[in-house]
Structure 1
Amino acid sequence: MSATQTIASVRGTGPHREQGEQERRTRRRSRLTALTLVVPGLIGLAVSFVFPLAYMIRMAFNEGSGNGIVVETFTFQTILEPLTDAYYWQVTVDTFLMGLVVGVLCIVVSYPIALFLARTQSKWSGVLLAMALAPLLTSSVVRTYGWMVLLNDDGLVNSSLLGVGLIDAPIPMANNMTGVIIGLVEIFMPYAILAMMSGFGRISTQLEEAAGSLGANRAKVFFRITFPLSLPGVLTAFLLVFVLSISTFVTPRLLGGGVVQVLATEIYDQATGLLNWPFASALAIILLVLFGTVVAVYQALAKKLGGMS
């Protein structure tokens, strides 16, 4: 190294300094580019979600007279009212149980379909996947009306069972929670299939082949290897179906026949029927807390499963 280069190195100049400054400029440009790309999304998220959510929470601390008049104040009475009423406690429990049952049934029914679609090598796999997801092309309102026709006392299901002599009287499957659950399971099955297929794609078949070569039968391979490895996808599918179920309005309103009351229908009645927006906001907060609790449980289970894998 020459004397000039040595002096430049000591003074912090020369090629090393220039290279460091260039790297810093590159990092600054990268951060500026990332910020430029993120800001529009953050603004859209704030306008479409954060601000409405904040407004809803603030509305829950107002007082509503039930005739559309909102008294601007700050009171906990509106939020405490549904928490101290046995009727709304029952509505909350029914909403949770409905989401739980629909989520479990969707997993049970959709799991074999998702596993088959994820593993099949058939040339018709694309067609089969399209058939499984085809219900998404139809409005849930239309499908709900179809289930109303099928599940009525004089509908196709009861008429067929009566015709073959399996039952002596129609089975009540409409205007009750049973019909609502049947309709929701069919409506949300495609979502469960998609969620589980994304998880099944990460399962290595080599572990199953190794277990089979060591003498394990298919049942043992499934319950000891395939199913445990697929649990993250199953949990994701359950969470998705649960959230969609507890927030749905059309199916409980139509298939429930006005008898089945869940948080979504109560929120609608309070907001549009009674025009009591503060009370509707309080019920929406309860629904949000229910959703957040399930998400927290999901995160804990997913973390535990991640640690076991």
Structure 2
Amino acid sequence: MKRMMLTPFWLLITTVVFFTAFFLAPFTVVIIASLTTEGDQIFTLQHYIKVLSDQYNWNVIALTFRIAALTTLISLLLGYPLAWYLVRIIRWKAWRRVCILLVIIPMFTSNIVRSFGWMVLLGRTGLVNQSLLSSGLIESPVRFLGSELGILIGMVYILLPFIVLATGNTLAQIDPSYEQASNDLGANPHTTFFKIILPLTLPGVISGAIMVFTLAASAYVTPALLSGGRISVVSMLIFQQYSTVFNFNYGGALSVVLLFFTLVMVGLAGRIGHVRRGKS
């Protein structure tokens, strides 16, 4: 009995130690660096003032969150129907398992490898441009690499599984009797979906959207590779400050600013989702 009581205690201690060592401690170092001057360790807000007074930084921040928002929106538009297909359309369980594996397997591959793959596919002589040219849809190759479109394609491909898994899990938990009751009361499939199914899946949709948005806002590898250095997002500025300029104080301020705006956007999304669930 005593051993059973000690097990949750040690699990809690292990979790707290892990969280402190790998999140709180590094984050505290970043905050301290952003609030001090190099060498003197004097409290200052000059790094934040420098970050927020530079119009270039605001342009990069706006671009970062525009890409993150578009990635989230496109992932939702593609991921929800795919989740619906996996949960509601497929009846053969073996085929469903195969489809789920096809969604999950790319997540076990490094983002670097997948981004390099898209660099090959989206190049001027890549498969995408060659297919569009051969079909007559375009007359000259489209410049995907070094553009927001190329970054969006790569980001959606990498982050789409999060929407599919979160939404699919919520769909699988909905009792089919709700739809049957709706049909018995004379509601058509369109009304049943928007009045019953969609509100019930909002928690999964919102959680998946939050995961995609936060990962897209902080992504570095995919934007860096697919932009070819022509487009900068905040994570690239942070990496530049830490690895090239070696200005850890300014890089720390950029990191905290990115985290702050991300939390604000996530908080607003969560609040909107809570209000919509309340109304429904």
The two structures share one fold, judged by TM-score above 0.5: yes
Partner of residue 185, structure 1:
156
Partner of residue 50, structure 1:
24
The answer to whether the 8 Å contact 1:151/1:158 transfers is: yes
Partner of residue 98, structure 1:
67
Return the alpha-carbon distance in structure 2 between the equivalents of residues 222 and 228 of structure 1.
9
Partner of residue 217, structure 1:
188
Match of 2:100 among 122, 129, 154: 129
Deviation at 1:45, TM superposition (A): 0.9
Are 1:208 and 2:186 an aligned pair?
Answer: no
SS in 2 for 1:63: coil
Letter in 1 for 2:47: T
Are 1:86 and 2:55 an aligned pair?
Answer: yes
Partner of residue 76, structure 1:
45
Return the alpha-carbon distance in structure 2 between the equivalents of residues 34 and 158 of structure 1.
56
Deviation at 1:140, TM superposition (A): 1.2
Match of 1:36 among 3, 6, 10: 10
The answer to whether the 8 Å contact 1:232/1:305 transfers is: no
Deviation at 1:204, TM superposition (A): 2.1
Name which of structure 1's ranges 147-156 and 112-121 shifts more when overlaid on structure 2. Answer: 112-121
Correspondences of 1:251-262 after superposition (within 5 Å) = 251-262=222-233
Letter in 1 for 2:10: T
Are 1:241 and 2:192 an aligned pair?
Answer: no
1:93-114 CA distance string (max 9 Å, x none)? 1111111100111111111111
**Cα gap change, 1:275/1:71 in structure 2, threshold over 3 Å: closer, same or farther?**
farther
Unmatched tracts of structure 2, length 5 or more: none
Letter in 2 for 1:59: A
The answer to whether the 8 Å contact 1:57/1:285 transfers is: yes
TM-score by length of 1: 0.84
Letter in 1 for 2:14: P
1:30-79 CA distance string (max 9 Å, x none)? 87654333112111111111111111000001235xxxxx5422111011
**Cα gap change, 1:138/1:32 in structure 2, threshold over 3 Å: closer, same or farther?**
closer
RMSD: 2.0
Deviation at 1:153, TM superposition (A): 1.9
Name which of structure 1's ranges 221-230 and 244-253 shifts more when overlaid on structure 2. Answer: 221-230
Return the alpha-carbon distance in structure 1 between the equivalents of residues 28 and 47 of structure 2.
16
The answer to whether the 8 Å contact 1:144/1:251 transfers is: yes
SS in 2 for 1:189: helix
Return the alpha-carbon distance in structure 1 between the equivalents of residues 274 and 160 of structure 2.
25
Name which of structure 1's ranges 299-308 and 202-211 shifts more when overlaid on structure 2. Answer: 299-308
TM-score by length of 2: 0.92
Return the alpha-carbon distance in structure 2 between the equivalents of residues 197 and 40 of structure 1.
32
Return the alpha-carbon distance in structure 1 between the equivalents of residues 12 and 167 of structure 2.
29
Deviation at 1:307, TM superposition (A): 3.5
The answer to whether the 8 Å contact 1:180/1:251 transfers is: yes
Partner of residue 254, structure 2:
283
Return the alpha-carbon distance in structure 1 between the equivalents of residues 241 and 87 of structure 2.
44
Deviation at 1:122, TM superposition (A): 1.4
Return the alpha-carbon distance in structure 1 between the equivalents of residues 4 and 121 of structure 2.
58
Unmatched tracts of structure 1, length 5 or more: 1-25, 65-69
SS in 2 for 1:304: helix
Return the alpha-carbon distance in structure 1 between the equivalents of residues 149 and 168 of structure 2.
28
Letter in 1 for 2:183: G
Deviation at 1:118, TM superposition (A): 2.4
How many residues are aligned here?
A: 278
